[in-house]
């Protein structure tokens, strides 16, 4: 009996719980307290992120999906038939469906995400909807090295798909490193298809990252809940407020949890203090112009071959790099 829609493989390269503890403690010891945004994405956080993408103020998801739909025929021409799509940070895979639907007979799809259950479920759904596609799932933190040879990636032209402007979450130096890593996944003829959010009116940006419905704030508070639950923490969420603002000097939205008063807390047996107005930096979302992003891509050894943009208030870009 052939199991319809089964995954061709699932590989668990899940980061260990001790990484989470060590990273959080190291981040809280810094003069500017900081926690990596990758820790937003446990099962609950991934679900809250899906709510963010539905918020009326959060334009990137809608805009990128519409742009992907518009350029589908061109992507199909560039990809040819039998392409194999690799998606680091696949999440719930809404965009990959759009891409797969645009392509003629894609041969394979490998979704990778730091949230193992989330990526497994999303990839299994894709497999059942595309019976001819070889689908694999990998639980992996894409900031860590990955030996692609250890995965059973199907043969065919590889398209590394990195939508959502996730590249914007990284400091520029780390974004450069990540682009180099993704470039190393490419062979001649392969391509990196990447979504990059563009600079725009600060009021649009600040609303997108602090939606009135409170999904983005809840996303940040989920990190507090996660620390309290998994690292035996006692952070009082009512002593914190979520803040997001546009930093024009660094061309990014910066996100913080800010103390509303002095308070002490414990995480994994270690004592910390936050003074009134002091912040925990949780995330950056860099915004580019087509030129500033292409300059970065070139520094990473990639060749900008095509770019498509959505202009106007919700500007966004998609790049085909070789
Ligand atoms: C992970 C890059 C898609 O920066 O827009 C959204 C994450 N954080 N709202 C972004 C995020 C708060 C998001 N990406």
* pLDDT tens, position by position, 101-113: 999 999 999 999 8
Of 2 and 200, more confident: 200
Mean pLDDT lowest among 40-54, 245-259, 274-288: 40-54
pLDDT-derived band at 268, boundaries 50, 70, 90? very high
Q: Which of 1-5, 76-80, 114-118 has the lowest mean pLDDT?
A: 1-5
Mean pLDDT of the chain: 94
> Per mean pLDDT, which range of 8-17, 123-132, 268-277 is the poorest?
8-17
**Mean pLDDT across the stretch 234-255?**
98
Q: Residue 171 has what pLDDT?
A: 96
- State the pLDDT at residue 114: 85
Cα gap 322→320, rounded to integer Å: 7
Residue 55 tokens read as: 């918020």
Nearest CA to ligand 1 atom 13: 166
Q: Please tell me the predicted confidence (pLDDT) of residue 5.
A: 55
Q: Is 169 in the pocket of ligand 1 (CB under 6 A)?
A: yes
Phi and psi at 90, nearest 5°, equal: -65, -25
Residue 211, pLDDT score: 98
Between 65 and 143, residue with greater pLDDT: 65
Nearest CA to ligand 1 atom 2: 166
CA distance 25 to 33: 10
Establish whether residue 166 lines the binding site of ligand 1, counting it when its CB lies within 6 angstroms of any ligand atom.
yes
How many residues does the structure list for the chain?
A: 322
Percent of the chain's residues with pLDDT above 70:
98
**In the predicted structure, residue 3 carries a pLDDT above the cut 50:** no
Q: What was the ipTM of the complex prediction?
A: 0.98
Regarding the beta carbon of 294 and ligand 1, being less than 6 Å apart is answered: no
From the alpha carbon of 167, which atom of ligand 1 is closest? 2
| pLDDT for position 4 | 43
pLDDT at 14: 78
- pLDDT, average across residues 45-69: 96
Give the nearest ligand 1 atom to 253 CA.
Answer: 4
164 lines ligand 1 (CB under 6 A): yes
List strand residue ranges (DSSP E) for the chain, in order.
Answer: 9-12, 33-34, 84-88, 108-113, 134-139, 158-162, 191-197, 240-247, 252-259, 263-267, 270-274, 279-286, 304-310, 316-321
163 lines ligand 1 (CB under 6 A): no
- Are the CB atoms for 291 and 321 separated by under 8 Å? no
Residue-wise pLDDT tens digits, 295-308:
999 999 999 999 99
Provide CB contacts within 8 A for 76, sequence distance 6+. 102, 103, 104
Protein residue with least CA distance to atom 1, ligand 1: 166
C-beta 253 within 6 A of ligand 1: no
pLDDT of 1 > 70? The answer is no
pLDDT band at 2 (very low <50, low <70, confident <90, very high): very low
Q: Mean pLDDT across the stretch 233-239?
A: 98
């Amino acid at each position: 009996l052939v199991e319809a829609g089964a995954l061709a493989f699932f590989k668990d390269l899940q980061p260990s719980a001790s990484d989470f503890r060590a990273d959080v403690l190291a981040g809280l010891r810094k003069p500017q307290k900081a926690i990596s945004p990758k820790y937003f994405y446990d099962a609950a956080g991934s679900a809250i992120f899906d709510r963010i993408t539905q918020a009326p103020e959060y334009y990137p998801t809608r805009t990128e999906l519409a742009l992907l739909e518009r350029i589908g025929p061109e992507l199909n021409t560039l990809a040819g038939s039998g392409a194999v799509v690799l998606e680091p940070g696949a999440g719930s895979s809404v965009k990959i469906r759009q891409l797969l639907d645009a392509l003629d007979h894609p041969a394979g799809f490998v979704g990778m995400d730091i949230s193992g259950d989330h990526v497994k479920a999303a990839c299994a759904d894709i497999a059942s909807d595309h019976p001819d596609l070889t689908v694999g799932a990998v639980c992996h933190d894409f900031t860590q090295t990955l030996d692609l040879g250890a995965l059973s990636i199907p043969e065919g032209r590889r398209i590394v798909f990195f939508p959502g402007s996730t590249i914007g979450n990284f400091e520029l130096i780390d974004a450069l490193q990540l682009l180099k890593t993704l470039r190393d996944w490419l062979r001649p003829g392969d391509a990196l298809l990447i979504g990059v959010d563009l600079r725009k009116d600060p009021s649009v940006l600040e609303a997108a990252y602090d939606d009135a419905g409170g999904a983005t704030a809840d996303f940040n508070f989920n990190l507090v809940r996660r620390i309290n639950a998994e690292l035996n923490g006692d952070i009082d969420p009512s002593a914190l407020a979520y803040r997001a603002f546009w930093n024009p000097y660094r061309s990014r939205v910066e996100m913080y949890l800010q103390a509303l008063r002095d308070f002490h807390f414990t995480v994994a047996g270690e004592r910390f203090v936050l003074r009134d107005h002091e912040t925990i930096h949780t995330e950056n979302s860099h915004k580019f112009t087509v030129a500033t992003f292409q300059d970065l891509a070139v520094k990473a050894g990639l060749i900008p071959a095509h770019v498509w943009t959505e202009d106007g208030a919700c500007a966004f870009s998609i790049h085909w790099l070789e």
